[in-house]
Amino acid sequence: EPEVTQTPSHQVTQMGQEVILRCVPISNHLYFYWYRQILGQKVEFLVSFYNNEISEKSEIFDDQFSVERPDGSNFTLKIRSTKLEDSAMYFCASSSGQGDTDTQYFGPGTRLTVL
Amino acid sequence: AQSVTQLDSHVSVSEGTPVLLRCNYSSSYSPSLFWYVQHPNKGLQLLLKYTSAATLVKGINGFEAEFKKSETSFHLTKPSAHMSDAAEYFCVVRWNQAGTALIFGKGTTLSVSS
């Protein structure tokens, strides 16, 4: 069964450094998403991406964040200058975008630790 | 304001007994509704989804949920808990069309004792 994959599984970085989180969505899906889950809190939407542009973003997704689909398979989230509060589990998801039955399938997550 | 509320942060049951995880949403119309499960150190797995075809939805691993518009509820049930059901469960809504954000409840931790 097709699945969303994410790399790395765990990333440790110093405050102020740039990080890039990588995702490979399910191959025939058209919509791509990033969510995050700070430890002990609920899962929060960051951004959705369709047709090579951002289709929706939350207040969390400020100028420090960017997304890109650099080739036909990868979808990346870049955090330009990490802060301590960026420490969280980041989940990538993808969906086909087909009507009421549209379902977002999630990857296993990347745990980002900012020191 | 539109919101999704999971009424219990933690539910404990014994193996073989029924499971009830409660979820309410507030909206003037019917959103798309989902339950996802997260096992320790794992990603988010879809359990089931409501798509307006039927109010009683069956999912994986024996779980089911009933959409009740009059009560704005979408509670998750299972007749008989198994040890492997111990996990975090999220009630999730999508207010708008396909391809838009999912809004997660705060989650319910299910513990199953032998």
CA–CA min distance B51, chain A (Å): 6
Residue B91 has pLDDT above 80, yes or no: yes
CATH of the domain at A44: 2.60.40.10
CB within 8 Å: B98 and A97: yes
Instruction: Note the Cα A50 to chain centre separation in Å.
Output: 13
pLDDT given for residue A72 in this prediction: 78
CA–CA min distance A65, chain B (Å): 17
Return all residues near B62 (Cβ < 8 A) that are at least 6 apart. Answer: B78, B79, B80
pLDDT given for residue B27 in this prediction: 72
pLDDT given for residue A89 in this prediction: 95
**Residue A107 domain flag:** no
**Residue A26 domain flag:** yes
pLDDT given for residue A40 in this prediction: 86
pLDDT given for residue A70 in this prediction: 87
The Cα–Cα gap between B17 and A6 comes to: 36
SS3 B84: helix
Residue B1 has pLDDT above 70, yes or no: no
The Cα–Cα gap between A7 and A109 comes to: 8
Give, for all 115 residues of chain A, the pLDDT tens digit.
778 999 999 999 999 999 999 999 999 899 999 999 999 888 999 999 999 999 999 999 999 999 999 887 899 999 999 999 999 999 999 999 887 678 999 999 999 999 9
CB within 8 Å: A106 and B32: no
Give the count of beta carbons closer than 10 Å to the beta carbon of residue A61.
20
Is B44 an 8 Å CB contact of chain A? yes
Q: Sketch the domain layout of chain B as residue ranges.
A: 3-105
**HSE of B15, CA atoms in CB hemisphere, 13 A:** 5
Structure confidence by residue, pLDDT tens digits, B20-69: 999 999 876 778 899 999 998 778 999 999 877 788 999 999 999 999 98
The whole domain housing A75 covers: 5-97
Q: pLDDT category, B6, cuts 50, 70, 90?
A: very high
Domain at B3-105, CATH homologous superfamily: Immunoglobulins (2.60.40.10)
- Are A31 and A4 in contact by the 8 Å Cβ rule? The answer is no
pLDDT given for residue B28 in this prediction: 65
CA torsion angle for A75, A100, B94, A65 (degrees, to 10)? 20
Return all residues near A8 (Cβ < 8 A) that are at least 6 apart. Answer: A22, A110
Beta bridge partners of B19: B78
Domain total for chain A? 1
Cβ neighbours of B51 in A, within 8 Å: 100-101
pLDDT given for residue B96 in this prediction: 75
Is A5 an 8 Å CB contact of chain B? no
Q: pLDDT category, B97, cuts 50, 70, 90?
A: confident
